[in-house]
Structure 1
């Protein structure tokens, strides 16, 4: 997305997060795609151990960078990722998608699976007092053995699935249209139906149809066709040697004659004339309605 999405979270998301944090004593957070915190279970701050480790050893920038790297990795893998941070805390992050639209991340963490603070942390302490203070803060973190961590992660996955399936996360109207349009432009070779586009942003079919009429000024189908025609024209600008059937296939039309009919209907002339004018550097002078006299060569 070129601009930040305006995410709408149902109040039930906060209640779910609060109950999760109350049960396990750990942080659970919802992040925007850009990394901004939108919801935190019980409004838990960073643990005392994390704050002290950042101040005394690693620096906050190091922790933020690792979080960003793991969010990017989870996005690439499109699955939950569990890892141990520099300070020895366990974290887990999972990307939240509606079809192909990334809406953000759910993350939980700041608990431990070790009995003792990692030696890599204690070795970097500058004094015995610093080491003792960090160790005390580490011991105060919630501790879970590996088998229980697996169960907590399983519950975390179930909560994520429930929140997504229950449409507890949506996009504000204008940005729902933008999310669909961005997806159509990025995947112009596909032809998603209106119900598929509505599911992409967790909206009703009638609601998305109304939004397109209201905000774009044309129907969803007309918008989809326009994106395909614009893409076809760009292909012809950059590769005028392409045959019309090749351009048609690139924008999702396996039948070049259907593509030519649609192009002529919406532009008033055939795509072959657009291409020939490009090759003579005179595309700006295309007349509206010249198509009736032109002959199409696919």
Structure 2
């Protein structure tokens, strides 16, 4: 059964599925997208894995060895494409993908035979002899695999590396510039925004910060996790996981905290505005529900909170 992390990654990166399909069809290679743990996140739908590899992966130990081979992508130089041997004697063309500070995954071809770098059939059998596989079928599948030229594979790898990583860097750069342009720091000038900013993260993740800024601007609306995720172009499941990780609290808790901070200010600054009106202004249609939430979070109902604040102010004057 797949882990929730793999499912989240697949949902977040599913837009590159056509890339895998078209590339695999055009070059007759099984191009997959793998995580830093060697898990297959996306595989081409237009082409199946070669029979040789499928047979090896049918054995649990063979599957683990294949995963370990692919996991080597995380240790490769991110500035170039690589052609390296797998545990069974074939070769993997790998293109590491890196963000600003971390490894995001890699494009990796299905294992291929390379001219002048081929392993003898007898050595192939030696490499996997403990897997107890059908030797006749294994050699048959091995001989059926097309032989590729190393030079052609490296040119292909360099091209894919340049396209993917340069567009990735361009996207990050443009994304950061767009976030800065649309959400200038000077917006946090009021007392309320300054206090609310205490709940936001230092801009370690631009997408989460963009979501935080959107919430601070729109907390008075009927916000949902799905809507905010859509604003930052992430799937709801992945956004929820990323937001909780960065903010150290759930999306729901952050939204409640944001609304209640604004409610406190309104209760203090507008002594003649009804609780019902304040409830509407911060995004709660039901004033009774707002009062219950306020009491749960602060220990006292909003009306009593207002009286205590006004009493303290009058005593100070």
TM-score by length of 1: 0.48
User: Which structure shows the bigger proportion of residues in helix conformation?
Assistant: 2
TM-score by length of 2: 0.46
